[in-house]
Amino acid sequence: MANNAMRILEEIKSSDLIENRVQLLTQLAQLDTQENPDVPSFVQSLTTLWEDTTCLDVSQCLLNKAILPVASKYLALNRLDCSQYFLAFGIKVSQWCAKHLYMSVMSMEESQEEEHSNIFFQLLLDYLRFSALSFTAIGKICFTSDEASAVTVHKFVLEQLNLTKEVILNAKKVESFSSEIFKAVQGVIDSIVRLCKDFSPTVNQCVNETKTNGSVGTARMEEGNTACNLVSIITLGIKSLSELGMLAARDGGNLVTILNTSWKGVITLLQIDKQALASTVDVGEIILKLLSLIKESLRFAAEAWSCSLKENITAAEAKRVFLPVKFYLINAVKVVALFPTQASMVFKDIAHCILMISAFKVSLSQQTHGKYASEVMTDLLEKTTVDLLSALLNAGEITQECRLTLLDSLFVDEQCFPAQVCNKQSHDSQTKSSLVDILSLSVESATSARGLLLARVVLFQSVMRYSSELEEDAKLAVTRKLQWLLDMLTEEEVYTSVLSSQLPMADGSGKTIIWESMFSALLLSLKTFMIILSTSPAWEELETLLLKNLLHPHFLCWQIVMELWCFWVRHATEDMRANMIDKLCVFMISMSTSDTPLCPESVLRRTAKSICFLLTHSPKSLTAQVYKNISTESRSESAPDAYLALLLEGFPLNFLPDRMKNDAKKQVVTDFFHFIENFSVKPSNSSRYSVQGAPVFALSACLGILKTSIPEIDSKTLKFAVALIQKLRNSKDETIRDRYTEILSETLSIISRSEQLYTCQEMDNVITELQRLFISETGNSDHLHKSKPSLALFLSGLSKYEMSETETCPKSQAVWELYHMLLKKRHWALVHHAVTAFGYFCARTSCSELWRFVPDDATLAFDIASGKEAKTERFMSELKMFLEKEQALLSITPSQEELELLSKEGTKVKATVQKLLEGRKQQRSMEVEKQSNKRRKLPEGICRGVELLQKGMKRINEGLSEMSSDESKDFQKSLLNQFSCLEDLVSHLVSLAASE
């Protein structure tokens, strides 16, 4: 048999006919390989037989195709002495196949080449299978002592990878063979990876021994060279497989098998010896390739979906886009986790990619047609995106400074947004193509893109939500960015979205996606982060943040901070809560020495507001503790003012034990009576508070908190009201008048909550004095503007007040005139107060002639379209509609359709307001350009004329009060109405003169 094999081989060499050679090779393939004594020489001859010249016709392909079965048969012997010859054979065949593949693809359109192409692609398929088997056989051979063999293997691997690359580029052009060829290519890739894994123990051993023994001796030098050669092969595999992965991704994700095999192979090879590969593999480039695939997939989807805004993006379509993105992300996470130091060199690109994913999610969630797509994106990508960031933050090789720099690049401070860029981005974000534009932003331009603010906030929310997987240093770095979050929430485009938008989120089980308001999602993430930090050294950082922002000026930030405070209080130990409350009380008392409790924006009032919010949502025992610390019995002189501030902010008295609550109520009532009894004697120093009239404010607040009347309040209160009104009318000092007006408002509020007072005889004097103050003393109405809501509240309680309903009754006329004054006011808030009060009065009064309470020119009586025609019938109709709406708001839960309609109307109103604001802003900027930089000064004549008008108004007012009662009622009413209009005009002129 051995002689037959060699004889046939010699005949093949000596034959000039291709057909004859093919027949002889077929016979050779049928012989038993075990009886051939000179296998190495035989394999070497097969390499010689392979024609590597340009293939001109099908005969050469037939000859080469006949060689492969013979080579495969001898390859299966796994002969160590034949490995070099098979490597040489593979190198030669790979080079020939690559050249022939290029020629075949170029000539496929010629019909006469169809048979030739088919034969070649069958040959190519056979060789790819042979190549995969070659790697398996080579993997069983050790090359540690033979540098030449390692170099040959390197050459062999290189040629196989080059051929594989060409096959991937061109195989799709041959549909009849593409599926089989792709399967064979996958086998080659798998074999290359297995071969490099077989080298792994050798590489590790050589590297470790070289480190341990240095470079002493020839053997050690050879081991070092061998290790370098093997590392070079692995490096080649990593680089080439990453390129194959990029090629497979170009075809829209159709080459899923090749894509998956290539990138998994890259990760496998990178894990062989991180230390040895760190200096030879450009890890940053691999990461950038994966990031580019992610961004390219998102950009492609954005362009496609922006062209079909009216069609809903289906979940299946979204999965086709986001599943490959998840695959790229997962591989990027693995590479970053393996080589964090090298990954930190491209941290800006990593941050940019993560931000683009967040921006894509935000955009989809805000579009109706992107609902399902945003759910799929959340399910597939949210956690993996955070994992990519966490892989870098958790790395022990990364310094804390580097972590903070990475987070700074993601969560950019406001000063990084140039004004001109801000305006442009804000405008661009409103266009339909904004998402495509955002995904096209470079790393540098994305940093200053204001349109990405919301995307950064949503990303930070996700980071906090999954922060349980962060290491301690990473938790500390993230905690230090919480102040950034609060700062960003003050931006209009952010906090409006947080309050109005919804986000898809994974539920507690992680299996279902639910839609949650952005505000709720943010709060949930913050609370989750608090729990995670509770056992971390970063907790002190969080405590500092909560303390610093206890009095945050922005309403949304304050609400969030207080929610976190309440969450902490509910779960803290009793001792921790008590200690914290004591410190807050001490701080508030210290503030009461410099701040007035009547100023809502003072530090004292803001602190009291925070404490009251905290107490309302905390265990009731804390309320008693605060009361003990800050009660009027305290030794601190400033404690009463602090207590007043608490009452004004709604201190939860009902949370106190009954005995303590009764004592608190009794103390407030005692202070009140002490004040009103001494008011006529020493009104400025009649209580222990530093603020004049503080007991009145305290009692009014107390009644509002308790929601019940206090029987102890008697007719003394009415007498005090009369004395107060008289002092207010007679006082000339503007500051005193303002304070008396504030005290009057609270007094009227007290009376309105004490029904028993409306049946007292002293009520007549109160009504008469109020009529003189608000109607007769119209020249002083500027001081009374803030007290009119309390007046409306007072008038609503007159349903129990007995009136004769005759024109000759002074008290009835006084009530009518007071109602006339309120119902004529055009300010929307005063209209609401007046109509609500009148409706309450109408529903409970025994009066039958209610038309007397309504003036002819009541605000609700005017025609909305013209604004001129007024009818009583229209007033009653509008009143009925108003009361029905008020009742509906209290008793009926709105449907989903009503909420959606309200949301649409709100969006339209917001757009209209924004348009008006932009128009006003442009108009103002034009006016500013025209005006001089100096402040305008009105001519002396105008100022003097306005002053004379004021004096004239005063004289007219005095004349009205002296008017004879003989004059007809109609004439007096007409004169008062005209005077009221003139008074408004003069007041407007005075304000204009003052502003200039």
The CB density around residue 197, as the number of other CB atoms within 10 Å, is 16
| pLDDT of 427 higher than 50 | no
Six token digits for residue 66:
């006949």
Phi-psi region of 867 (alpha: psi -120 to 50; beta: other; left: phi over 0): left
The angle subtended at Cα 309 by Cα 307 and Cα 315, nearest 5°, is 100
Global pTM exceeds 0.85 = no
Model confidence pLDDT, tens digit, residues 686-708:
567 788 889 999 999 999 998 88
Segment (H or E) for 502 = strand 502-506
The average pLDDT across 3-29 equals: 82
Determine the Cα–Cα distance for residues 829 and 989; give it in Å rounded to an integer: 23
3 state DSSP class of 517: strand
Is residue 270 within 8 A of residue 281, CB to CB? The reply is: yes
Which residues does residue 516 pair with via DSSP β-bridges, in sequence order? 503
- Mapped onto helix, strand or coil, the DSSP state of residue 506 is strand
pLDDT in tens, 487-524: 999 998 899 999 989 999 988 766 789 999 999 999 99
Given a contact cutoff of 8 angstroms between Cβ atoms, the answer to whether 452 and 513 are in contact is no
Q: In whole angstroms, give the CA distance from residue 782 to residue 987.
A: 8
- Model confidence at 563: pLDDT above 80: yes
Contacts for 662-667: CB closer than 8 Å, 24+ residues apart: 664/627, 664/631, 664/702, 665/702, 665/706, 665/710, 667/631, 667/632
DSSP 3-state percent helix, strand, coil across the chain (nearest 5)? 75, 0, 20
Ramachandran region of residue 630, left (φ > 0), alpha (ψ -120 to 50) or beta?
Answer: beta
Show the CA angle centred on residue 146, arms to residues 90 and 149, nearest 5°: 10
Q: Which range, 62-76, 329-343, 497-511, 784-798, has the best average confidence (pLDDT)?
A: 329-343
Amino acid at 668: V
Measure the CA–CA gap between 541 and 546, rounded to whole angstroms: 9
Backbone angles phi, psi at 348, to 5 degrees: -65, -40
CA distance linking residue 819 with residue 799, whole number of Å: 13
State the DSSP H helix or E strand holding residue 172, giving kind and residue range, or none if neither.
none
For the chain, what is the mean pLDDT? 82
Distance from C-alpha of 449 to C-alpha of 631, rounded to nearest angstrom: 52
For 246, left (φ over 0), alpha (ψ -120 to 50), or beta? alpha
For 361-406, write each residue's pLDDT tens digit. 999 998 888 899 999 999 999 999 999 999 999 999 999 999 999 9
Q: What pLDDT is attached to residue 35? A: 63
Cα 16 to Cα 12, 21, 52, 63, 457, distances in angstroms: 8, 8, 16, 12, 77
* Distances from the Cα of 423 to the Cα of 416, 418, 495, 550, 925, angstroms: 13, 9, 18, 32, 15
Is 477 a residue whose pLDDT tops 90? yes
- Helix, strand or coil for residue 14? helix
Q: How confident is the model at residue 431 (pLDDT cuts 50, 70, 90)?
A: very low
Beta-bridge partners for 862: 870
Q: Which tokens belong to 804? A: 């004769």
Query: For the chain, what percent of residues have pLDDT higher than 70?
Result: 79
919 pLDDT higher than 70: no
The length of the chain is 996
Residue 338, pLDDT above cutoff 90: yes
All residues at 6 or more sequence positions from 306 whose CB lies less than 8 Å from its CB, including other chains: 432, 433, 435, 436
Per residue in 719-750, pLDDT (tens digit) is: 999 999 999 888 888 888 888 999 999 999 99
Distance in angstroms (rounded) separating the CA atoms of residues 355 and 409: 10
Distance of CA 631 to the CA centre of its chain: 42
Give me the torsion for CA of 946, 949, 950, 951, rounded to 10°. Answer: 130
Query: Any residues with CB less than 8 A from the CB of 39 and at least 6 apart, and which?
Result: 33, 74, 77, 79, 81, 82
In whole angstroms, what is the distance from residue 297 CA to residue 955 CA? 80
Q: In which band, very low, low, confident or very high, does the pLDDT at 994 lie, cut at 50, 70 and 90?
A: low
If we measure between CA atoms, which residue out of 363, 375, 458 comes closest to residue 410? Answer: 458
- Around 721, how many Cα atoms within 13 Å sit in the side-chain half-sphere? 29
Q: Which of 144, 291, 120, 308 is nearest to 226 (CA)?
A: 144
Convert 160-179 to b/e letters by CB count within 10 Å (16 or more is b): bbebbbbbbebbeebeebbe
**Cβ atoms of 560 and 522 closer than 8 Å:** yes
Question: Residues 526-552: what's their mean pLDDT?
Answer: 94
Residue with tokens 């009461």: 592
How much is the pLDDT for 923?
Answer: 61
Q: Is the pLDDT of residue 181 over 50?
A: yes
pLDDT of residue 777: 61
Nearest to 410 by CA among 496, 362, 350: 350
Rounded Cα distance between 980 and 802, Å, is: 29
Residue 409 near residue 351, CB atoms below 8 Å: yes
Contact 218, 162 (CB under 8 A): no
Q: Which residue has the higher pLDDT, 355 or 591?
A: 355
- The whole-number pLDDT of residue 10 equals 83
pLDDT band at 420 (very low <50, low <70, confident <90, very high): very low
- Residue 402's pLDDT is 93
* pLDDT score recorded for residue 779: 45
| Beta carbons within 8 Å of 777's beta carbon, 6+ residues apart | 729, 957
pLDDT greater at residue 230 or residue 516: 516
Of 564, 369, 391, 575, nearest in space to 486 by CA: 564
Q: Please, which residues bridge with residue 472 across strands?
A: none
Q: How far apart are the C-alpha atoms of 78 and 51, rounded to whole Å? A: 25
- The pLDDT tens digits of the residues spanning 395-410 come to 999 999 999 999 999 9
Spatial CA neighbour of 602 closest among 623, 583, 584, 588? 588
857-911 residue pLDDT tens: 777 666 655 555 656 666 767 667 766 665 554 444 555 665 666 666 667 666 7
The residue type of 621 is S
Per the CB < 8 A criterion, the answer to whether 52 and 88 are in contact is: no
- Rounded Cα distance between 608 and 701, Å, is 14
Other Cβ atoms closer than 10 A to 581: 21
Q: Is 314 helix (H, G, I), strand (E, B) or coil?
A: coil
Q: What is the pLDDT of residue 890?
A: 46
959-989: pLDDT as tens digits: 777 666 666 666 666 677 677 777 767 776 7
Count each helix (H run) and each strand (E run) in the chain, helices first.
44, 2
- C-alpha span between 481 and 56 (Å, rounded): 69
Residues 831-869: tens digit of each pLDDT:
778 888 888 888 888 887 777 787 777 776 666 555 556
What local confidence, expressed as pLDDT, does residue 898 receive?
Answer: 56
Measured between alpha carbons, how far is 48 from 93 in angstroms, rounded to an integer? Answer: 11
Q: Which of 635, 665, 659 is nearest to 647 (CA)?
A: 665
pLDDT in tens, 637-671: 778 888 999 999 999 999 999 999 999 999 999 99
Question: What is the predicted pLDDT for the residue at 189?
Answer: 92
Rounded to whole angstroms, how far apart are CA atoms 313 and 364? 10
Angle at 208 between CA 204 and CA 213, to 5 degrees: 150
Q: Which amino acid is at 86?
A: F
Q: What are the tens digits of pLDDT across the range 105-146? A: 777 655 556 778 888 888 999 999 999 988 877 766 655 456
Q: Do residues 358 and 298 make contact, with C-beta atoms less than 8 angstroms apart?
A: no
Is residue 813 scored above 80 in pLDDT? yes
Handedness of CA 767, 768, 770, 771 (dihedral sign): positive
Q: What is the DSSP letter of 933?
A: S
Confidence of residue 926 (pLDDT cuts 50, 70, 90): low
Per the listing, tokens 């109520």 go with: 665
Domain ranges of the chain: 1-141, 142-147+159-281, 283-555, 572-710, 713-891, 895-923, 940-995
Indicate the SS3 state at residue 516: strand
> Which one-letter DSSP state was computed for residue 272?
S
298, 551, 732 from 735: Cα distances, Å: 65, 29, 9
Residue ranges in 171-279 assigned as alpha helix (H): 175-213, 218-250, 256-270, 274-278
